[in-house]
């Protein structure tokens, strides 16, 4: 299961593609400016109007003349650079910010805006250099650390991305978007508890945003906090009932938590919405097999296999359906196909051994038993390695999580612990 997006970008996700140069007094990186002469101010306003009216060629020609005429005036160039950046003319803006940096070196605001312009041009190394210098000169603004985090994310440098996001959150603990990206980075390194805490903080700030609860549910599911995952998914469903797979996600969490009646109900809800939803057909069919509702199981699994005959788990459940009805020959054929599709399917190998033994195929049964013992030993080894890896991974990232998640989260954790209220018509455990 994976519901978290990895393609969040600066402009698309958070709407801050426009530089912060003219964000107003008191805003981080609102560069200090001296007033322009009336003539220069009128020219900048004319350029703005031309660009706003989509007279791009005329506007850029006027901008070029203005830049040449005021080549030694950092305030005039700074004003023009901000205007061009706001209109998406990042190459021209970068050149002007670079010139201002020559005229007025060591300005963290100018360097920040230069770094942002380079970022928009995908010149990541130059962006990182300018932004790092800005942070060295003035480490207070959260935006600088956020921008450095984005560059680290682009490079799949999760450690520095997490570090910079934590720095950003120390300075701006009410930015939900920062928590979302921190959760995403913890997700990338497999630190589910840290991811869950980050998404919990995002939900505390933007309680009406269903995606925060989707991400939270995903992280809690992977952290084996199934009650919490159910509560988070159901909150997402309450906020946005039309989410495409939300009923399936709730069903899956209920099923893994052993609440089969609720799981079956939510699988049915998903299938009522999308009749050929393969994972829900397989999940509902599996529950039907477990509960020995064989006619229902046959109908669901047959449809699932019609949709995807190459799925190993569907073939295994098909075999289990016939095994439980003592049709061992038919079951054995299905288990063989599951193993052909996925040779390391330990359960399929075990049940194939049982099916062969019960049809008195002693030699083949012995071979299947030997193969199962090897797979079982390998499973135990892998499980042990996973436990050790999870422990090491948690120890590595817990300190970073503590630094970045100091702000109080919502009381959603209490809701998750208690379990969400039942929705209308929902079965009770």
CA dist., res. 352 & res. 349, Å (int) = 5
Return the closest-CA partner of residue 407 out of 173, 152, 184, 228.
173
Sole residue written with tokens 């030694």 = 72
pLDDT (0 to 100) of residue 384: 78
Q: What's the angle, vertex CA 282, arms to CA 277 and CA 284, rounded to 5?
A: 95
* H helix or E strand, kind and range, residue 183: helix 176-188
Q: What's the angle, vertex CA 98, arms to CA 92 and CA 101, rounded to 5?
A: 145
Domains of the chain: 190-309+381-429 (1.25.40.10)
CA dist., res. 149 & res. 168, Å (int) = 9
Counting DSSP H helices and E strands in the chain, the numbers are: 22, 0
Count the neighbouring beta carbons within 10 Å of the beta carbon of residue 266. Answer: 30
Pick out the chain residues at pLDDT < 70.
Answer: 1-34, 387, 389, 392-393, 395-397, 399-429
Count the neighbouring beta carbons within 10 Å of the beta carbon of residue 398. Answer: 13
For residue 399, the 8-state DSSP code is H
Count the neighbouring beta carbons within 10 Å of the beta carbon of residue 340. Answer: 13
For 332, the token pair is 């054995």
pLDDT tens for each residue of 271-299 = 999 999 999 999 999 999 999 999 999 99
Q: What's the angle, vertex CA 357, arms to CA 355 and CA 361, rounded to 5?
A: 105
pLDDT (0 to 100) of residue 416: 44
pLDDT (0 to 100) of residue 404: 61
Return the closest-CA partner of residue 152 out of 184, 128, 186, 136.
128
CA dist., res. 393 & res. 400, Å (int) = 12
pLDDT tens for each residue of 392-409 = 667 666 766 666 665 444
**pTM of the predicted model as reported, rounded to 2 decimal places:** 0.81
């Amino acid at each position: 299961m994976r519901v978290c997006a990895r393609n969040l970008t600066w402009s698309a996700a958070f709407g801050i593609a426009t530089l912060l140069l003219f964000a107003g007094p008191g805003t981080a990186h609102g560069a200090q400016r001296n007033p322009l002469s009336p003539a220069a101010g009128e020219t900048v306003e004319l350029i703005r109007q031309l660009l706003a009216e989509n007279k791009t060629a005329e506007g850029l020609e006027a901008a070029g003349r203005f830049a040449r005429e005021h080549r030694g005036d950092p305030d005039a160039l700074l004003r023009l650079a901000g205007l061009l950046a706001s209109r998406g003319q990042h190459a021209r803006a970068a050149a002007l910010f670079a010139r201002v940096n020559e005229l007025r070196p060591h300005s963290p605001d100018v360097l920040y805006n230069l770094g942002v312009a380079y970022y928009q041009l995908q010149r990541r190394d130059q962006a990182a250099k300018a932004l790092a210098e800005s942070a060295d000169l003035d480490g207070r603004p959260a935006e600088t650390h956020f921008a450095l985090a984005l560059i680290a994310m682009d490079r799949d440098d999760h450690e520095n991305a997490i570090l910079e996001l934590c720095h950003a959150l120390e300075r701006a603990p009410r930015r939900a978007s920062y928590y979302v990206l921190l959760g995403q980075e913890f997700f990338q390194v497999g630190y589910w508890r840290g991811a869950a805490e980050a998404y919990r903080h995002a939900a505390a700030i933007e309680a009406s945003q269903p995606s925060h609860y989707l991400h939270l549910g995903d992280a809690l599911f992977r952290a084996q906090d199934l009650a919490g995952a159910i509560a988070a998914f159901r909150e997402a469903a309450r906020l946005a009932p039309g989410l495409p797979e939300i009923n399936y996600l709730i069903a899956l969490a209920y099923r893994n938590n052993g609440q089969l009646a609720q799981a079956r109900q939510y699988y049915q809800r998903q299938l009522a919405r999308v009749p050929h939803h393969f994972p829900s057909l397989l999940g509902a069919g599996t529950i039907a097999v477990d509960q020995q509702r064989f006619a229902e199981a046959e109908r669901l699994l047959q449809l699932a296999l019609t949709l995807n005959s190459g799925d190993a788990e569907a073939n295994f459940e098909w075999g289990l359906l016939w095994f439980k009805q003592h049709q061992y020959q038919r079951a054995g054929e299905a288990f063989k196909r599951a193993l052909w599709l996925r040779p390391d399917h330990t359960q399929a190998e075990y049940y194939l051994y049982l099916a062969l033994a019960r049809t008195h195929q002693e030699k083949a049964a012995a071979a299947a038993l030997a193969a199962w013992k090897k797979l079982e030993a390998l499973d135990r080894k892998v499980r042990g390695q996973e436990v050790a890896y999870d422990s090491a991974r948690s120890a590595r990232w817990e300190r970073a999580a503590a630094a970045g998640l100091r702000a109080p989260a919502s009381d959603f954790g209490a809701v998750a612990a208690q379990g969400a209220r039942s929705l209308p018509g929902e079965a009770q455990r």
